[in-house]
Chains A and B, each alone.
Chain A
Amino acid sequence: MKSSMRIPNRFAPILFGALLSAIMVAIVSAVVLAINQGINHGFLWQWLRSCVTTWPVAFPTVTLVAPWVRRAVGRLTA
Chain B
Amino acid sequence: MNTVMDYLVCALLVGLGATVVMDIWGIARKRLLGLAPMNYGLVGRWLAHLARGRFRHDRIAASPAVRGEGLIGWTAHYLIGIAFAAVLLAIWGLEWARHPTIGPALIVGIGSVAAPFLVMQPGMGAGIAASRTPRPSAARLQSVVTHAIFGLGLYGAGWVTSWVQS
Which A residues are within 8 Å of any B CB, using their own CB? 2-8, 41, 44-45, 48-49, 52-53
Contacts and interface: CB of A to CB of B under 8 A. Distances in A.
B120 interface: no
Interface of B: 5-6, 8-9, 12-13, 41, 44, 65, 67-72, 74, 164-166
27 contacts: A2-B70, A3-B67, A4-B41, A4-B44, A4-B65, A4-B70, A4-B71, A5-B68, A5-B71, A6-B67, A6-B68, A6-B71, A7-B71, A7-B72, A8-B67, A41-B166, A45-B9, A45-B164, A48-B9, A48-B13, A49-B5, A49-B6, A49-B9, A52-B5, A52-B8, A52-B12, A53-B5
Main secondary structure of the interface of A (DSSP, over half): helix
A62 to B, nearest CB: 20
Nearest to A41: B166
B164 A4 contact: no
Most-contacted residue by chain B among A2, A6, A45 (CB, 10 A): A45
Contacts of A53: 5
B158 to A, nearest CB: 14
